[in-house]
Chains A and B, each alone.
Chain A
Amino acid sequence: MIALLKRDLAIATRSGGAAMLGVLFFLAVVAVIPFGIGPDLNLLARIGPAILWIGALLASLLGLDRLFQADREDGSLDMLMMQDWFSLVLTVFVKSLAHWLATGLPLVLAAPLLGLLMNMTATSTGAVMLTLLVGTPAISFIGAVGAAVAVVLPRGGLLVSILILPLAIPILIFGVSASYAAVTDPDPFLPPFMILSAIALFFAALGPVAAAAALKGAAD
């Protein structure tokens, strides 16, 4: 499994991979906001956490169809599919983890720079980073289900985003809620953060199982 993790990471970070593209898209989305909304610094600081979260969500969603595409293109997906059920679930888990390390984690690390662009305070940026750290794995794990469903389609990328978006909405809601709670005084930070963590753990368990089921279904 470690070998699979390393392999996926290597594939994602070499030139054909989409790792850097995710961060660049994140940057593009967040950078465009001040152009659209205007340079009102107070307004930018107020909507900053939400914009960062939406940008990270979109960047993650758009990179999801690559999760299984690379394997399908070179034929290794068929070999992965020959495993027994438990190994397949584990494989999907590892692949999702690799996907997160390659595309989700860079988003978390890019957050401080983008927080600067949105004139956010250090606490605000820190809260966004922490919630993204917990939330982006959740997106990767549940996104695996969409990626598995759309793997047989030639232009399945957009469909994956459409399918996963309803499931990713709770992640967004609690992530933003916790981020804002960290800077707004009476609002409690822990409850939404705990729920976000719970969703992440739940999706980490459900995602690979459902994705494996979808892969098996598509192979029949």
Chain B
Amino acid sequence: MSDTIISQGWFTSLANPTRFLALSGRILPYLATAAVLSLLIGLYMSFAAPEDYQQGMTVRIMFIHVPAAWLAMMCYSVMAIASIGTLVWRHPLADVAAKTALPIGAAFTFLSLLTGSLWGRPMWGTWWVWDARLTSVFVLFLMYLGLMALHKAMDDSGRAARPAAVLTLVGFINIPIIKFSVEWWNTLHQPASVMRLDGPTIHPSMLYPLLVMAIAYTLIFFTLHLMAMRNEILRRRVQAMRRQAAQAIGGGA
């Protein structure tokens, strides 16, 4: 049988959980090393960057606040793409990707809210304000929590796959709202200074540490995500084996 190998695209070959485990196992050490390295470089650059003439050293919070916020949105976007994979192509691993990204995305959203609050207290004089940007990010956090609750409510690991996919896509409307909230509404949160059509308005001495930290956070996300996907695949295997064992006991002579 092995001499009639049908050539598969890499995407379809990734659909096989065992092959995914093998592949991800090989990539993971490099990915993790890259993540740690870029994080260390980014941290060094963040503390070597000059102080802001107005904010002083408090501006260093920007180097962990902005990447966390970016990752919070990117994580949800990854989940949305995975949800399309579940609903449209029924890719076997798509729902694993969507489910495992949830706690990671929730953590990044929590961090962006927390560091933003810790930055806002000295700079704006308040821990919290219900302006458009903060409110929509808070709504994003609620969405993450709701989806996690949905997955928990189903006993079978994969039962919530399609409903969760539908909900994720319905909630995706929040992502452009978050992005453009500072332009559409009069907000306390400052407008965009990096992802603009005219290009960034931050000075390179602060832009580069920011970008390196963003890369570090992205690598951290993918490392943690791959690890969590591997765990989820193992979890489903255990469930399947337990079910089979129970059937054998029940149906055997």
Question: Residues of A at under 8 Å CB distance from B?
Answer: 142, 145-146, 148-150, 152-153, 156, 159, 162-163, 165-167, 169, 173, 206, 210, 213-214, 216-218, 220
Contact = CB atoms under 8 A, between A and B. Distances in A.
B24 to A, nearest CB: 27
Contacts of B145: 162
A150 B147 CA distance: 12
A47 B43 CA distance: 47
B167 A145 contact: yes
Contact of A163 (B139, B140, B146, B154): B146
A33 to B, nearest CB: 20
Interface SS of B by simple majority: helix
B162 A166 contact: no
13 contacts: A149-B150, A149-B166, A149-B167, A153-B154, A156-B153, A163-B147, A163-B150, A166-B139, A166-B174, A167-B171, A206-B170, A210-B167, A217-B161
Interface string B138-169: 01101101110110011000010111111101
Nearest to B174: A166
Interface string B163-204: 111110111001000000000000000000000000000000
Contact of B162 (A165, A206, A220): A220
B162 A162 contact: no
A159 B149 contact: yes
Contacts, number: 65
B214 to A, nearest CB: 26
B228 interface: no
Contacts of A217: 87, 161-163, 165-166
A63 B153 CA distance: 20
A180 to B, nearest CB: 14
Given A162-B149, A167-B170, A217-B162, 8 more contacts: A150-B153, A162-B145, A163-B147, A163-B167, A166-B142, A173-B135, A214-B167, A217-B166
Contact of B146 (A153, A156, A166): A166
Contacts of A152: 154, 159
Contacts of B135: 169, 173
B184 to A, nearest CB: 11
Given A148-B163, A167-B170, A218-B163, A213 B87 contact: yes
A148 B150 CA distance: 12
Contacts of B171: 166-167
